[in-house]
């Protein structure tokens, strides 16, 4: 087991390096410079800025910045010149992580619950109703849900209208963020639950006299949960790196807005920093999920996988 973990972790730097290079190439190909504004800047001014930031050409950039990445220094942001990328990520990441975890904490239990009940009541009213509710997450654009919730908060005054500072601020944005993963979890759980409930051991358990509830929740769920488990890896990572839309509408200073703003602003170091963080999270969570897989279902021998 330990060998597997070590093996996987050892692969991280290689994968991250490749992602760094690819993102870097893409960013340099894009026309537009981070140093231009509304007014046309003197070419001399532009050149001097580029030189100051080691950004006059792809090579100077590569010569200067990547080696510092290993120490956690991604360089200064080209757009927010007073802040280093590390500072920005340090201020935004905890917020996005908190919000993302909160959203997943809503999505997983609720999603699994609805999915299970839909499977158990196959074809019945509960099946349809719960599916429709869950599918809102993938049938209505995120900004619509967020905007509606915001207006709702404004009209009723039960919730704060955005911002970030106390637990109450998490509720509405967390809810909005949880809908999409919840929808996926509902569908996954439903399908795999339907499948599991048909297996022989379930019929045996019922025949032995175990109650329906125990059979569903205690025995079937563990197997039915596996596909959801696999989905949780990438889902948690992407939810944690923040949703741009939710953050914009509820004005939460998280990482999601930096994803988009850094691209529209061509802020190369920030783009690279944010991509690195997201990729790292993705890799870590995928590893955690694979480990949990083996723990959840002892029949699966994950060390047997090619890795």
Sites for another protein among residues 138-157 (CB under 8 A): 138-144, 147, 150-151, 154-155
Q: Please name every residue paired with 76 in a beta bridge, in sequence order, or none if there are none.
A: 84
Q: Based on the shown chain and the rule CB under 8 A, indicate whether residue 81 belongs to the binding site for another protein.
A: yes
Binding mask 229-248 for another protein (x = CB under 8 A): xxxx-x-x-------xx--x
Q: Which residues 184-213 are close enough to bind another protein by CB under 8 A?
A: 184, 187-188, 191-192, 194-195, 197-199, 203
State the nearest-atom distance from the C-beta of 2 to another protein, in Å. Answer: 20
Q: Which of the stretches 1-9, 19-27, 65-73 binds another protein when contact is defined by CB under 8 A? A: 19-27
State the nearest-atom distance from the C-beta of 290 to another protein, in Å. Answer: 11
Q: Based on the shown chain and the rule CB under 8 A, indicate whether residue 135 belongs to the binding site for another protein.
A: yes
State the nearest-atom distance from the C-beta of 190 to another protein, in Å. Answer: 9
Contacts of 154 (CB under 8 A, 6+ apart): 161
Of the candidates 51, 79, 102, 129, the residue with the CA atom closest to the CA atom of residue 274? 79
DSSP type of residue 298: T
3-state DSSP call for residue 84? strand
CA 80 – CA 267 distance, rounded (Å): 9
Q: Based on the shown chain and the rule CB under 8 A, indicate whether residue 259 belongs to the binding site for another protein.
A: yes
Q: Which of the stretches 1-9, 66-74, 263-271 binds another protein when contact is defined by CB under 8 A? A: 263-271
Residue 219 in contact with residue 205, Cβ under 8 Å?
A: yes
**Residue 288 CA, distance from chain mean position:** 15
CA 238 – CA 278 distance, rounded (Å): 7
Q: Please name every residue paired with 84 in a beta bridge, in sequence order, or none if there are none.
A: 76
State the nearest-atom distance from the C-beta of 196 to another protein, in Å. Answer: 8
State the nearest-atom distance from the C-beta of 303 to another protein, in Å. Answer: 18
Q: What tokens were used for 246?
A: 């939710």
Q: Which of the stretches 2-10, 42-50, 66-74 binds another protein when contact is defined by CB under 8 A? A: 42-50
Of the candidates 243, 145, 230, the residue with the CA atom closest to the CA atom of residue 189? 230
State the nearest-atom distance from the C-beta of 9 to another protein, in Å. Answer: 16
Of the candidates 118, 128, 96, the residue with the CA atom closest to the CA atom of residue 250? 96
Q: What tokens were used for 256?
A: 């999601």
- Identified binder of another protein from the candidate list 58, 126, 263, 302, rule CB under 8 A: 263
Residue 107 in contact with residue 187, Cβ under 8 Å?
A: no
End-to-end CA distance of the chain: 12
Measured CA angle at 290 (ends 186, 257), to 5 deg? 65
Q: Based on the shown chain and the rule CB under 8 A, indicate whether residue 65 belongs to the binding site for another protein.
A: no
Q: Based on the shown chain and the rule CB under 8 A, indicate whether residue 279 belongs to the binding site for another protein.
A: yes
- Identified binder of another protein from the candidate list 67, 105, 305, 307, rule CB under 8 A: 105
- The residue among 28 and 66 lying less far from another protein, judged by its C-beta, is 28
- The residue among 2 and 306 lying less far from another protein, judged by its C-beta, is 306
Q: Which of the stretches 1-9, 66-74, 265-273 binds another protein when contact is defined by CB under 8 A? A: 265-273
Q: Based on the shown chain and the rule CB under 8 A, indicate whether residue 173 belongs to the binding site for another protein.
A: no
- Identified binder of another protein from the candidate list 1, 5, 13, 52, rule CB under 8 A: 52
Rg of the chain in Å (alpha carbons): 23
Q: Which of the stretches 2-10, 66-74, 257-265 binds another protein when contact is defined by CB under 8 A? A: 257-265
Q: Based on the shown chain and the rule CB under 8 A, indicate whether residue 163 belongs to the binding site for another protein.
A: yes
CA 223 – CA 220 distance, rounded (Å): 6
């Amino acid at each position: 087991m330990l060998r597997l973990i070590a093996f996987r972790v050892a692969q991280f730097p290689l994968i991250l390096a490749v992602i760094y290079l690819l993102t870097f190439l893409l960013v340099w190909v894009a026309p537009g410079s981070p140093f231009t504004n509304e007014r046309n800047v003197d070419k001399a001014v532009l050149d001097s800025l580029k030189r100051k930031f080691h950004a006059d050409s792809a090579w100077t950039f590569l010569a200067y910045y990547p080696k510092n990445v290993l120490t956690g220094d991604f360089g200064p942001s080209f757009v927010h010149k007073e802040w280093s990328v590390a500072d920005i990520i340090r201020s935004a990441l905890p917020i996005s992580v908190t919000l993302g975890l909160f959203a997943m904490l809503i999505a997983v239990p609720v999603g699994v619950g609805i999915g299970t009940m839909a499977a158990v009541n196959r074809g019945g009213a509960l099946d349809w109703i719960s599916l429709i509710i869950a599918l809102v997450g993938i049938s209505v654009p995120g900004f619509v849900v967020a905007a509606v919730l915001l207006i709702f908060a404004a009209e009723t005054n039960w919730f704060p209208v955005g911002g970030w500072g106390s637990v109450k601020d998490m509720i509405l944005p967390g809810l909005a963020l949880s809908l999409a993963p919840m929808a996926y979890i509902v569908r996954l759980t439903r399908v795999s639950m339907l499948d599991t409930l048909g297996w022989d051991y379930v019929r045996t358990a019922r025949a032995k006299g175990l109650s329906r509830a125990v059979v569903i929740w205690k025995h079937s769920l563990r197997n039915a949960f596996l596909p959801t488990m696999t989905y949780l890896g990438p889902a948690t990572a992407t939810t944690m790196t923040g949703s741009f839309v939710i953050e914009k509408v509820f004005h939460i200073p998280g990482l999601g807005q930096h994803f988009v703003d850094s691209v529209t602003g061509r802020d190369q170091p920030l783009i690279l920093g944010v991509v690195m963080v997201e990729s790292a999270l993705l890799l870590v969570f995928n590893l955690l999920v694979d480990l949990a897989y083996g723990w959840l279902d002892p029949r699966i021998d994950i060390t047997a996988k090619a890795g």
